Each structure stands twice: as structure tokens, then as C-alpha cells.
């Protein structure tokens, strides 16, 4: 088994004639948190979505290069199977409004056949909600609908929903962009604990968040990774001028 959960080489993505990624090389070690930083429009979300082939739903997209996830080429395996192992949490909280809190979290466990009976399903839901520190807040209202939750709680619910799929890789697209500091703290705390169980790739444009959670960081700029390495090393001693400017907020 490879030490890397994700191996990307020479990845080029073109959307309707526009180069979004221009030859990305990236390796992510198992059970680590990689934070991909970069200014808006640098291709961070596209890179993340290529890892579980959500890019399949973009019209006029052309993807070249190699993306190997968990030892398998993502372009040759069933995309649904891939997305059950490599789950993405979006920037905007999107719990299903017509399903209860419990059913939202239970859904992926049912889809993936993780729970065999009601008791097992309950255990999975409880485990996932505990992992995101939401269990104590919702344990008495699991039959409520998500609109009764705050924005931050909804995002943690989405994180719990993703965890209930028991993925091996978790992709996070600016998961704390729209939520308050208290919920941001709880999500970051959860991510640090989850590192023991899975590999996490997170996209953010906030360097200080990367400082708090990342093992490794990569800076994506104009479709190319200009610098990557252990978080401390990159933050303390950036080698690239663009990284330097980004960390100083100059770009």
C-alpha cells in the first residue's frame, strides 16, 4: 500500500477553452491534513473537485494528466464508488431541508450500506455527530429539520453527514468561509482529531486557518502549485516570492 492517499501528476484542466489548472503535481500522505491555499480564481476548488470527479458535471471541461486516489486511477473507476470513499463538503452548508437532522446524517450510511439495522444506524449517526461536536446540541431534537439550526451548526451537520459515509478521504472546500468563529473553532478541532482516521484535503484562502490545522500546505497560484511542504516550514521560511506575497496578504 502506497504511503500516499492521493498522487496527482501533470494535471491540466481546461474549462470552455480557459486553462484552470496548468500542470499540477501533488502528493498527499495518508492520515495527514493538506491545506491548499491560494487567492480566488487560482483553481483550488477545481483541483479539489477533480479528486472525486465532481468535475464530470461541468460542461465543456477537459481533464488531462493522472490522478491516483487510494492506489486507483480515478478516471477508470466508477465515479459513485469513488465519491463514497472520497467525500466532499462544500463551502455553503447544504443539509437536505426536507429531511430531519437524523435522516440527513443517516443518509450516506444507508447509501453505502454501512448500517445493517436501526441500532447500527443510530450508532453511526451518534458517532458522526459526536465527531463534529454537535451531538450534545442536537441529541434531543434529532427529529427536527435543519432549518432550526444555525449556519455553523448546519455546516457541522454537513460534515457529520460526510463522516457518516465512512470515507477514507475528506475534501473540504472552504468549510468555514460563511460561519462564526465559535463554529470555525469546533470544525478545526474536529479536523485535528479526524486526522487519525482519514486523510483530509482542505481548501482555504485564509493563511491563518492553514497555520492552525495543516500538516502540509500547498500554494496554488494561477493553476500551478508554486510551493508545497510541511506547514511550519512553508510558513516560517517560504521559498517562493509568490508564497511570501500571499502570506503577507499582498495578493
Partner 1 sequence: MIFFSKSDKVTFYSILPLVVGILGFFLTIGLFTAYQALPSFMQFGSDLLITSIWRPADDPHLEAYGLAAPFIGSLYASTLATLIILPLSVALTFSITEILPRRIGGFLRVIIEIMGGLPTVVYGLWGAVVLAPYLRDYVMKPLHQYLGFIPIFSCRPITGYSVLTASLVLAVATTPYVTALLIEGYNMIPSKYKEGILCLGATKYEAFKLLFGLLKPYVIASSLLGFSRALGETTIVALTIGNTMRFTLCVFNPTHTIPSLIASQFESAGLYMYALPTLFAGGFLLLIASSVISYVGIKMLYAWRERVRV
Out of 32, 42, 45, 52, the residue judged to bind partner 1 by CB under 8 A: 52
Minimum CB separation from partner 1 for residue 48, in Å?
Answer: 11
Dihedral (CA of 135, 48, 194, 106) sign: positive
What separation in angstroms does the CA of 42 have from each of 47, 137, 155, 216, 245? 10, 37, 24, 18, 15
Residue 100 as a binder of partner 1 (CB under 8 A): the answer is no
Q: 6: which strand partners?
A: 28, 69
Indicate the helix (H) or strand (E) that contains 42: none
Out of 15, 68, 99, 206, the residue judged to bind partner 1 by CB under 8 A: 99
Closer of 197 and 215 to partner 1 (Cβ): 197
Q: For the chain, how big is the Rg over CA atoms in Å?
A: 18
Dihedral (CA of 129, 134, 137, 138) sign: negative
Residue 82 as a binder of partner 1 (CB under 8 A): the answer is yes
Closer of 158 and 247 to partner 1 (Cβ): 158
Closer of 56 and 241 to partner 1 (Cβ): 56
Out of 13, 121, 162, 187, the residue judged to bind partner 1 by CB under 8 A: 162
Candidates 35-43, 96-104, 121-129, 195-203: pick the segment binding partner 1 (CB under 8 A): 96-104
Closer of 93 and 238 to partner 1 (Cβ): 93
Which residues, numbered 59-78, are part of the site for partner 1 (CB under 8 A)?
A: 59
Residue 118 as a binder of partner 1 (CB under 8 A): the answer is no
How far apart are the C-alpha atoms of 26 and 28, rounded to whole Å?
A: 7
How far apart are the C-alpha atoms of 137 and 143, rounded to whole Å?
A: 13
Candidates 131-139, 161-169, 191-199, 223-231: pick the segment binding partner 1 (CB under 8 A): 161-169
Out of 125, 158, 214, 231, the residue judged to bind partner 1 by CB under 8 A: 158
Question: Considering CB under 8 A, how many residues would be counted as binding partner 1?
Answer: 32
Closer of 1 and 80 to partner 1 (Cβ): 80
**Residues sharing a CB contact under 8 Å with residue 14, sequence separation 6 or more, in sequence order:** 20, 61, 62
In b/e form, how buried is each residue of 52-89, taking b as 16+ CB within 10 angstroms?
A: bbbbeeeeebebebebbbbeeebeeeeeeebbbbbbbb
Closer of 125 and 247 to partner 1 (Cβ): 125
Please name the residue ranges forming H helices in the chain. 44-51, 79-85, 101-111, 118-131, 135-138, 151-164, 181-194, 207-213, 231-236, 241-247
Which residues are near partner 1 by CB under 8 A?
A: 52, 54, 57, 59, 80-85, 87-90, 92, 94-99, 107-108, 111-112, 145-147, 158, 161-162, 165
Amino acid at each position: 500500500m502506497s504511503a500516499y492517499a492521493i498522487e496527482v501528476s501533470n494535471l491540466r484542466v481546461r474549462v470552455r477553452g480557459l486553462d484552470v489548472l496548468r500542470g499540477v503535481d501533488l502528493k498527499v500522505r495518508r492520515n495527514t491534513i493538506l491545506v491548499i491555499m491560494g487567492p480566488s480564481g487560482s483553481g483550488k476548488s477545481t483541483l479539489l473537485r477533480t479528486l472525486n470527479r465532481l468535475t464530470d458535471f461541468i460542461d465543456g471541461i477537459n481533464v488531462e494528466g493522472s490522478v491516483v486516489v487510494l492506489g486507483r486511477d480515478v478516471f477508470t473507476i466508477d465515479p459513485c464508488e469513488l465519491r463514497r470513499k472520497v467525500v466532499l463538503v462544500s463551502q455553503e452548508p447544504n443539509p437536505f431541508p426536507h429531511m430531519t437532522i437524523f435522516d440527513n446524517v443517516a443518509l450516506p450510511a444507508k447509501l453505502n450500506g454501512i448500517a445493517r439495522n436501526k441500532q447500527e444506524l443510530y450508532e453511526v449517526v451518534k458517532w458522526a455527530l459526536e465527531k463534529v461536536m454537535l451531538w450534545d446540541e442536537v441529541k434531543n431534537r434529532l427529529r427536527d429539520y435543519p432549518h432550526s439550526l444555525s449556519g455553523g451548526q448546519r455546516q457541522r451537520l454537513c460534515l457529520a453527514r460526510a463522516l457518516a459515509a465512512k470515507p477514507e478521504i475528506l475534501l473540504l472546500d472552504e468549510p468555514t468561509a460563511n460561519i462564526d468563529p465559535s463554529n470555525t473553532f469546533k470544525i478545526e478541532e474536529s479536523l485535528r482529531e479526524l486526522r487519525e482516521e482519514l486523510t483530509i484535503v482542505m481548501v482555504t484562502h485564509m493563511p491563518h486557518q492553514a497555520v492552525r490545522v495543516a500538516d502540509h500546505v500547498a500554494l496554488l497560484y494561477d493553476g500551478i502549485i508554486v510551493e508545497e511542504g510541511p506547514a511550519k516550514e512553508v510558513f516560517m521560511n517560504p521559498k517562493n516570492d509568490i508564497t511570501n506575497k500571499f502570506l503577507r496578504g499582498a495578493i
